[in-house]
């Protein structure tokens, strides 16, 4: 889940909003972390205790709702994967000098190789963990090199000078919105973590995933803040690359290539796996041939990238759109757990209340965001 969230869009969104809000972006990060934890713990516990995927739960509540939810997730997953595959190409281009398109094609091949391996699940888990650690360590190096104003960042995280609803919606959407909030939950179901007895492990996993994402977000925020606070202007065509290069020179720029590729390839894997998991229970034939569906998903995303490109604006906008999906998905989960009687389990009141608060808050901020787009 964490490596699905930390993709090219994550890097771009964090950089763009830090450049815009400066130290006050720390407040946005703090609020988004709280909303992320509440949303994810609710969703993962409900998935685990029911032992069913989100689309099946939704169809039980309102016939056809699961198909609608699956459509939203898959459309959002493809949109995100266009950026993810572009990020793969960019990372390889920085490291080797190969044209972006060739790097994207090579990375699609690597992702497909992982899925077609006999022990795909175990390989996928180990692959994403190792690359996740590499991402965080390299970004820590760049953050230290940029010498950020840590005291000011800490102060403005609690006393911001500006408030930006779109930034919160985008960050929450980029962390637990769309397919991402189900990435780890569906993976846990496939790994056998179901029933009341799995709740402690599922809760710990949900919180850990958000914490890993938060660490990466905070470290990147500090790296960007150090650069922009020193008066440097970022390249609007590739803001994260500019941060790494300004902070740590040519070595930093190469580090960016590694970080971008690690972030992108793990997100390609996560987006494809989770999006297709929303189809697998609709028909036994889909379940039997799910690897072919994943193959088509990745190839379609790759072809669309070649045709459309990977502009920075798309990566930020898709994060906001995924943020609009979250209140719908979370509301469905909360409604079904209220109706469903499960022996030995009662959904905690504090999770229910805080979950509905997240639904209300994200809906309100999403409306403000849409008004901003229309205005």
- pLDDT tens string for the chain (375 positions)? 777 778 787 888 899 999 999 999 999 999 999 999 999 999 999 989 888 888 888 888 888 888 888 888 888 788 778 888 888 888 898 888 888 888 888 998 888 887 777 665 566 667 667 877 887 888 888 888 888 999 999 999 999 998 888 788 778 877 777 777 887 888 888 888 888 888 999 999 999 989 988 998 999 999 999 999 988 888 887 888 888 888 888 888 888 888 888 888 888 888 888 888 888 778 888 888 888 888 998 998 888 888 876 545 555 566 566 667 788 888 888 988 887 777 678 889 999 999 999 999 888 877 777 776 665
Per-residue pLDDT reduced to its tens digit, 104-141: 889 988 888 877 776 655 666 676 678 778 878 888 88
- DSSP single-letter state for residue 197: G
Q: Which residue has the tokens 């941060």?
A: 243
Q: How far is CA 137 from CA 61, 237, 296, in A?
A: 44, 25, 33
Sequence length of the chain is 375
Q: Which residue has the tokens 């998935």?
A: 47
Asked whether 33 and 174 are in contact (CB, 8 A), the reply is no
Enter the pTM of the model.
0.83
Quote the tokens at residue 106: 């090579």
Helix (H, G, I), strand (E, B) or coil at 342: strand
Q: Which residues contact 263 (CB under 8 A, 6 or more apart)?
A: 3, 6, 7, 8, 10, 11, 87, 135
Q: For each of the domains in the chain, give its residue range(s) and CATH number, in order of start.
A: 2-374 (1.20.1740.10)
Of 137, 135, 89, residue with least CA distance to 109: 89
Per-residue pLDDT reduced to its tens digit, 38-96: 999 999 999 898 888 888 888 888 888 888 888 888 887 887 788 888 888 888 988 88
């Amino acid at each position: 889940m964490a490596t699905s969230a930390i993709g090219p869009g994550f890097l771009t969104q964090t950089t763009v909003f830090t450049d815009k809000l400066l130290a006050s972006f720390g407040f946005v990060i703090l609020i988004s972390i709280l909303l992320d934890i509440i949303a994810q713990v609710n969703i993962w516990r409900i998935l685990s205790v029911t032992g069913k995927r989100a689309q099946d739960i939704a169809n039980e509540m309102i016939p056809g709702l699961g198909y609608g939810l699956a459509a939203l997730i898959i459309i959002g997953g493809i949109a995100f994967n266009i950026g993810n595959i572009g990020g793969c190409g960019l990372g390889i281009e920085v490291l080797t000098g190969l044209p972006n398109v060739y790097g994207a094609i090579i990375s699609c091949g690597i992702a497909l190789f992982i899925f077609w391996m006999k022990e795909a699940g175990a390989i996928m888990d180990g692959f994403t963990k190792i690359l996740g650690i590499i991402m965080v360590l390299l970004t820590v190096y760049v953050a230290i090199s940029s010498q950020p104003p840590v005291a000011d960042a800490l102060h403005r995280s609690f006393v911001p000078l500006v408030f930006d609803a779109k930034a919160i919606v985008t960050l929450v959407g980029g962390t637990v919105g769309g397919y991402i909030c189900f990435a780890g939950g569906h993976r846990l179901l496939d790994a056998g973590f179901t029933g009341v007895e799995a709740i402690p492990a599922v809760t710990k996993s949900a919180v850990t995933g958000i914490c890993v994402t938060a660490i990466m977000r905070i470290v990147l925020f500090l790296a960007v803040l150090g650069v922009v606070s020193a008066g440097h202007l970022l390249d609007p065509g590739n803001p994260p690359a500019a941060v790494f290069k300004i902070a740590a020179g040519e070595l930093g720029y190469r580090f960016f290539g590694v970080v971008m590729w690690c972030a992108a390839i793990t997100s390609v894997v996560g987006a494809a796996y989770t999006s297709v998991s929303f189809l697998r229970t609709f028909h036994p034939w889909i379940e039997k041939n799910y690897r072919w569906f994943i193959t088509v998903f990745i190839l379609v995303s790759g072809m669309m990238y070649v045709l459309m490109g990977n502009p920075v604006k798309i990566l930020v906008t898709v994060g906001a759109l995924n943020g609009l999906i979250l209140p719908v998905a979370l509301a469905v989960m909360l409604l079904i757990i209220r109706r469903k009687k499960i022996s030995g389990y009662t959904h905690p009141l504090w999770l229910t209340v805080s979950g509905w608060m997240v639904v209300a808050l994200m809906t309100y901020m999403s409306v403000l965001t849409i008004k901003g787009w229309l205005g």
